[in-house]
Structure formats: structure tokens, C-alpha cells
């Protein structure tokens, strides 16, 4: 659905409506912050007594009642007024959260504005719906509760966050709610357990998933495919250890930026500080820097499928999509300045090839720096402007102007992020190509040019899958567990009509395995119909039934979840069919 420019303002207005309803029902509750977000809004509250999701219906009902009063002729509609800090604080007596925000606004020497709607007043900088009837009582719904620390800091008070979704009309809301129901059915945590792909263990730790044999096949197929694509493009694979001296990351610049997100290791045998590897790039730089380079040596392309570790907050961990152990299909290209665009094109081709074979539509965005916040980045404005122009030029060659997202660049350079749309319309940030002109300088990476003079090396960071764990979580939901044949942990299951034909089934199994097909033979201890239903529940791509006719003719009766029942065919013909489908990575 296409969203209007006013929709963010509508969602922002619904957040205020939520706060008004909560204050009416729970006079002692303290509203804090409530922004518009993708598909809706939220507001964080400090409640005197806990509430539960069972209370959302009453809050939603109160919101609808208040909305009607806001839509009356005599009601105020987000009338803004600039006030002094003292008057603003007087308006929020007993609310330390609003007072803290007021002090911050005052310290930045910005205007302090209060907005009145009906009888409700809130601290806000503006950006509301144009008129009260832009908010439709049948176009929003409260969806869930969550815990959220004040200002995102776990040292602060835990607040209650109420989430809602909002749209311009009931039709769009209903479509979104239907998508959410479909998303629940596809939840990778639920399907991951049902299909025996990965395990979470309390004694191992949150955010540290364990992959079963079937899940490991899925990982291996994905990583193997990206490895083949990279090697075809001239990437060489390297290996690096899982810990390093903290000095390495202090020099790279990561320490100052991410110290709180890094696992620290203290040795009992030395005073040297170590950390568990949070990323691969400084390690790859050390491999590159080991020997002098000339212009003839460049570009050099390193790749490394390696697990890194981030000290995530426990409350942010979620299945495979937010973990502490992150396997990156990481690569780094070391090149001359005049090779940046051509090297980025090579990685762009790899990314497009992969996602085409996963039926995920991708669209690039350009993440740039914010010139007013240069303290967040390494390097000067002039170099940033040049680097962004370089990536902008590359994207322009595709014939479409990419969306630019100000302030979302990496601290060492701008980046192209590929946003993928899954089968139920959700968007995910997936692959990335990042241009780095800072880390090479910090490590004094140079090469000798054609004239015998030293020149700076430039670096591209490229991730195709991003995080293997997160990508598998997205993929499980994208396919609803029905993986294409080339990815499926079990590609075929043989079902004998009765125990009498198990021997022939085993013969078929041996032939399939010999041909490299991942197959299994089910025990004939239940009815054929029940075993077929189980195979379908297990999302097995090909179900092969064998009985008296098949045994006599040396055939199988196949069925798959894409085409349904197929004609009976010789085992040799089936093998050729499956091998062709696997090779072509047919969806």
C-alpha cells in the first residue's frame, strides 16, 4: 500500500491520543515519550501499578471516546504554544521524565512548545495531522505491551511501552492486521522448533543459538552458495582468530564507538587486555598489511565467514534475528581510488544474483553522514562529500535514484544498504556495501603507484547475507519453512505404501543419496495418508510414494508442494529432474 506524506503525522497524533486515554484511565501514570514509528506508534509510561495486555481493549475504547470529543466543533486541535521552562515544568508537576526533557531542550537553547488537544496537553515539537477527521476510529489498533528502559538505558527505570498500528483507513489497517496474523504463523522461532532447525538453551545463554544437523545444512548451503559466488568473482578466503588484543580495536576506531558492546576478556597469565572479536575488518587489514603492495597487486579481495560477538542487552535479543553470536559472510576489498566503483559493481552483482535465487526483491538505499554531527564520524567533510558522490554515481547507473538516509552512514564512511521485501510485504535491511577511507589511514595502508610514489589504499566492506543467523530467521518466515529444493535440509522423503515395500524404498533411498540428494525413508508404521500429511507438515519438497506398481516398474510416484502430484517416473529420471532443479536453484 502506498503511504501518504500525512501518515507519519497521523501516527504521531495517535500517540498523543494514547497518552490522553492512559491519563484519563490511570491518573497517576506518567507519560514519557511517544513517537510515530513504521506502521504505527508507541508511548512509554511509568504506571503506578502494572497493566497487562488484557487492559489494551479498555484503553483503545477510551481512545475512541476521546477522539470523538476532539472531533467536536469546539475542541482544540493541537494548538501549539511556546512557553518558558518554568511554565512547562509547572504543566508536568510530578513527572520527572517530562522535566528532564524540558531541561534538555532548554540546554540546547531550543523553543519549548506545549500542544493542547481537547483537555490534553503534551510536550511536543509539532508535526501533527492537519485536522481531527484525519484520525479514523476504525483505522488504528493497540497491539502489544513491552518493557522499555527510560532513554534506552538499563540503569534507568523500566517503563511500560504500549504499541499501536495506525493507517489512513480501515482497509489498510485490515490488510496490515492480516499480515501480522500471517507473520505469527510464520514466526521463525515457532517454525524453527517444529522443523528442528535450531535450539535455544538457558544454560548456554540467551542470544547464543545452537543449530541442529538440519539447521546446519541450511547454514552450509547458504554460506556455500555465497562462497561460490565470491570465489567466482576473485575473492580469496582467509581465517582469523576469535579474540584479539584490545589495542587492535582502539587503533581501528571501534573501541571509542562500541566499547560497551564488546565482550572483554581478562587473561590470568598476562596483563594484556583482550576482547572477543566484534568484527573482522581490523583482522583483514593486518593480513593485507603484512607485505608491501604495488599498484599491480590491487585490488585484493578477502572473504571470511566468521562468527563475531556483540554484548547485546538481554531485552533486545529475539530468536535468530537479534543474537550475541553473529556469523558474518564478511569480505573486504582493498583497492585504488580509481577502482572503487568497479569493485563495488562486482559485489553488487553477487548480491543481485543471490537475492534473485531467493525470490527476495531488493532495493538499494544510500546512507550518508550528517554534516552537523561530524563528531560521530572519522574523516573530514570534503572526503565524506567525495565518497558519497562516488556511491551516488554508482547507484545512478542503475537508472533509478536511490533513497538517501541522512545520518545513517557507518562511522568510517557512507554505505549502500539493500532493503529486501519478503513474501508478506515486510522490509528488512539485508546486504551492504560500505566505503571506508578512514580505517586504511589509521593503519597506514599504502601502495606504490606507477611512478614509485606512495598512495592511500581504499577499502570496501561487503556483506551479502549480513548475519547468517538473522538471515536464516528472515528466510524461514519468507518461505514459511517451505524452502526451495536446493536449500531444504531434507529434499525428499520416501514413503512405502506398506512395510512390504520398505526394501524397495531403501533401494530408492540409496540411489538418491548416491546422486547427492538429501533423502530419507519413513518407517511404514502408520497409515500412508497420515505419513503424507506429516511430510507436508515437515515442509518436505518432494514426497515419493512407492508400492507394488512402482517396485515392479522401478519408479516412484512423486508429489511436491509447488506442483502437487506428478506423473509416475523412473528413479533415474527423477534424479535428473531434482539435480537440474537444484543446479538452477529453482524457487
The distance in angstroms from the start CA to the end CA of the chain is: 25
Which letter does DSSP use for residue 150 in this model?
A: G
What is the per-residue pLDDT across 110-148, written as a single tens digit (0 to 9) for each? 999 999 999 999 999 999 998 889 999 999 999 999 999
Domain count within the chain: 3
Same domain, 501 and 571: yes
> Residue 470 and residue 318: Cα distance in Å, rounded?
10
Backbone phi and psi for residue 418, each to the nearest 5 degrees, phi listed first: -100, 120
| Assigned domain for 146 exists | yes
Same domain, 475 and 501: no
| Assigned domain for 304 exists | yes
pLDDT of 213 reads 98
Backbone phi and psi for residue 484, each to the nearest 5 degrees, phi listed first: -60, 160
Location of C-alpha cell 517416473: 569
Strands (E), 232-283: 236-237, 243-245, 264-266, 273-276
Same domain, 264 and 350: yes
Find out whether 560 and 587 touch, Cβ atoms under 8 Å: no
Q: How many CB atoms lie within 10 A of CB 374?
A: 13
Residue 214, CA distances (Å) to 218, 219, 318, 321, 416 in order:
7, 9, 21, 19, 33
Closest CA to 35 of 173, 152, 172: 152
Find out whether 417 and 463 touch, Cβ atoms under 8 Å: no
> Residue 299 and residue 443: Cα distance in Å, rounded?
18
Same domain, 44 and 152: yes
What is the per-residue pLDDT across 291-311, written as a single tens digit (0 to 9) for each? 999 999 999 999 999 999 999
* Close Cβ partners of 26 (under 8 Å, ≥ 6 residues apart): 45, 47, 48, 51
> Residue 266 and residue 335: Cα distance in Å, rounded?
36
Same domain, 166 and 239: no
Closest CA to 120 of 230, 16, 228, 12: 16
| Assigned domain for 163 exists | yes
Hey, is 225 helix, strand or coil? helix
| Assigned domain for 179 exists | no
Same domain, 450 and 574: no
Same domain, 364 and 430: yes
Q: Is the dihedral of CA 493, 497, 502, 504 positive or negative?
A: negative
Which three cell numbers mark 493? 522423503
Q: Report CA dihedral (42, 47, 51, 55) to the nearest 10 degrees.
A: -60
In the sheet with 415-421, reading across from the earlier edge strand, the strands are 236-237, 300-309, 325-335, 458-467, 427-436, 415-421, 361-368, 403-406
pLDDT of 3 reads 57
Tell me the H-state helices in 381-527.
381-396, 439-442, 468-479, 502-514
pLDDT of 358 reads 94
User: Domain of 344: which CATH number?
Assistant: 3.30.930.10
Residues 68-101 as b/e (b if ≥16 CB within 10 A, e otherwise) read eebeeeeeebbeeeebeeeebbebbeebebbbeb
Strands 79-83 and 198-199, by their bridges, are unpaired
Hey, is 307 helix, strand or coil? strand
User: Domain of 103: which CATH number?
Assistant: 3.30.980.10
Same domain, 234 and 111: no
Location of C-alpha cell 538499494: 364
pLDDT of 130 reads 87
Domain boundary among 424, 446, 479: 479
Which three cell numbers mark 144? 502489544
Same domain, 136 and 249: no
Low-confidence ranges of the chain (pLDDT < 50): 1
> Residue 387 and residue 32: Cα distance in Å, rounded?
39
| Assigned domain for 180 exists | no
User: Domain of 573: which CATH number?
Assistant: 3.40.50.800
Same domain, 17 and 128: yes
What is the per-residue pLDDT across 425-437, written as a single tens digit (0 to 9) for each? 999 999 999 999 8
Same domain, 228 and 207: yes
Element (DSSP H or E) covering residue 31: strand 30-31
Strands (E), 167-217: 198-199, 210-211
Residue 497, CA distances (Å) to 9, 33, 198, 460, 545 in order:
62, 63, 32, 56, 7
| Assigned domain for 1 exists | no
> Residue 339 and residue 296: Cα distance in Å, rounded?
12
| Assigned domain for 183 exists | no
| Assigned domain for 578 exists | yes
Closest CA to 390 of 438, 435, 359: 435
DSSP string of 549-579, one letter each residue: HHHHHTEEEEEETTTEE---EEHHHHHHHHH
> Residue 474 and residue 480: Cα distance in Å, rounded?
10
* Close Cβ partners of 62 (under 8 Å, ≥ 6 residues apart): 21, 24, 25
Q: Is the dihedral of CA 567, 569, 571, 577 positive or negative?
A: negative
Q: Within 13 Å of residue 421, how many CA atoms lie on the same side as its CB? A: 6
Domain boundary among 479, 511, 545: 479
For 525, the domain range is: 492-583
Closest CA to 418 of 467, 472, 363: 363
> Residue 341 and residue 299: Cα distance in Å, rounded?
12
Find out whether 462 and 354 touch, Cβ atoms under 8 Å: no
Find out whether 453 and 446 touch, Cβ atoms under 8 Å: no
Please, which residues bridge with residue 150 across strands? none
Find out whether 485 and 218 touch, Cβ atoms under 8 Å: no
Give the catalytic positions in this structure: 281, 310, 328, 330, 332, 415, 461
Q: How many helices (H) and strands (E) does the chain have?
A: 18, 29
Same domain, 234 and 302: yes
pLDDT of 1 reads 47
Domain boundary among 139, 171, 203: 171
Find out whether 149 and 156 touch, Cβ atoms under 8 Å: yes
Amino acid at each position: 500500500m502506498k503511504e501518504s506524506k500525512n501518515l507519519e503525522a497521523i501516527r504521531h497524533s495517535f500517540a498523543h491520543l494514547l497518552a490522553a486515554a492512559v491519563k484519563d484511565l490511570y491518573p497517576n501514570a506518567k507519560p514519557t515519550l511517544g513517537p510515530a514509528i513504521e506502521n504505527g506508534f508507541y508511548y512509554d509510561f511509568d504506571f503506578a501499578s502494572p497493566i497487562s495486555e488484557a487492559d489494551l481493549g479498555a484503553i483503545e475504547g477510551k481512545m475512541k471516546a476521546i477522539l470523538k470529543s476532539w472531533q467536536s466543533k469546539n475542541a482544540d486541535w493541537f494548538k501549539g504554544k511556546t512557553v518558558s521552562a518554568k511554565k512547562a515544568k509547572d504543566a508536568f508537576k510530578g513527572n520527572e521524565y517530562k522535566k528532564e526533557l524540558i531541561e534538555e531542550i532548554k540546554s540546547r537553547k531550543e523553543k519549548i512548545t506545549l500542544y493542547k488537544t481537547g483537555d490534553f496537553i503534551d510536550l511536543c515539537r509539532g508535526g501533527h495531522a492537519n485536522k481531527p477527521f484525519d484520525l479514523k476510529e476504525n483505522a488504528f489498533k493497540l497491539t502489544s505491551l513491552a518493557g522499555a528502559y527510560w532513554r534506552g538505558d538499563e540503569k534507568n527505570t523500566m517503563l511500560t511501552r504500549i504499541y499501536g498500528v495506525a493507517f489512513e483507513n480501515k482497509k489498510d489497517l485490515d490488510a496490515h492486521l492480516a499480515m501480522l496474523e500471517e507473520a505469527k504463523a510464520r514466526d521463525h522461532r515457532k517454525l524453527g522448533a517444529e522443523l528442528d532447525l535450531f535450539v535455544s538453551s538457558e544454560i548456554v545463554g540467551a542470544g547464543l543459538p545452537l543449530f541442529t544437523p538440519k539447521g546446519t545444512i541450511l547454514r552450509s548451503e547458504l554460506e556455500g552458495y555465497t562462497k561460490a559466488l565470491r570465489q567466482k568473482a576473485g575473492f580469496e578466503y582467509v581465517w582469523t582468530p576469535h579474540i584479539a588484543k584490545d589495542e587492535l580495536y582502539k587503533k581501528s576506531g571501534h573501541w571509542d564507538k562500541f566499547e560497551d558492546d564488546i565482550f572483554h576478556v581478562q587473561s590470568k597469565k598476562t596483563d594484556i587486555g583482550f576482547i572477543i572479536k566484534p568484527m573482522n575488518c581490523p583482522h583483514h587489514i593486518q593480513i593485507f598489511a603484512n607485505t608491501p603492495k604495488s599498484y599491480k597487486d590491487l585490488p585484493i579481495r578477502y572473504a571470511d565467514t566468521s562468527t563475531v560477538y556483540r554484548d547485546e542487552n538481554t531485552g533486545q535479543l529475539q530468536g535468530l534475528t537479534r543474537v550475541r553470536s553473529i556469523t558474518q559472510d564478511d569480505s573486504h576489498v582493498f583497492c585504488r581510488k580509481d577502482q572503487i566503483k568497479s569493485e563495488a559493481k562486482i559485489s553488487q552483482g553477487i548480491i543481485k544474483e543471490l537475492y534473485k535465487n531467493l525470490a527476495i526483491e531488493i532495493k538499494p538505499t544510500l546512507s550518508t553522514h550528517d554534516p552537523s554531527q561530524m563528531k560521530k564520524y572519522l574523516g573530514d567533510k570534503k572526503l565524506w562529500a567525495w565518497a558519497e558522490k562516488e556511491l551516488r554515481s554508482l547507484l545512478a547507473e542503475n537508472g533509478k535514484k536511490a533513497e538517501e538516509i541522512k545520518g545513517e552512514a557507518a562511522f568510517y564512511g557512507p554505505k549502500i544498504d539493500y532493503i529486501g521485501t519478503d513474501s508478506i510485504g515486510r522490509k528488512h535491511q539485508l546486504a551492504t556495501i560500505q566505503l571506508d577511507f578512514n580505517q586504511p589511514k589509521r593503519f597506514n595502508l599504502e601502495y606504490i603507484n606507477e611512478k614509485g610514489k606512495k598512495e592511500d589504499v581504499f577499502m570496501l566492506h561487503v556483506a551479502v547475507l549480513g548475519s547468517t543467523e538473522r538471515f536464516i530467521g528472515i528466510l524461514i518466515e519468507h518461505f514459511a519453512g517451505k524452502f526451495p529444493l536446493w536449500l531444504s535440509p531434507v529434499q525428499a522423503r520416501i514413503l512405502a505404501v506398506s512395510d512390504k515395500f520398505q526394501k524397495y524404498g531403501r533401494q530408492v533411498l540409496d540411489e538418491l543419496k548416491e546422486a547427492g540428494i538429501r533423502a530419507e525413508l519413513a518407517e511404514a508404521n502408520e497409515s500412508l495418508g497420515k505419513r503424507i500429511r506429516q511430510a507436508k507438515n515437515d515442509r518436505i519438497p518432494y514426497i515419493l510414494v512407492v508400492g507394488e506398481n512402482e517396485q515392479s516398474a522401478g519408479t516412484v510416484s512423486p508429489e511436491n508442494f509447488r506442483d502437487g502430484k506428478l506423473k509416475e517416473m523412473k528413479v533415474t529420471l527423477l534424479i535428473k529432474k531434482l539435480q537440474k532443479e537444484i543446479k538452477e536453484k529453482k524457487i
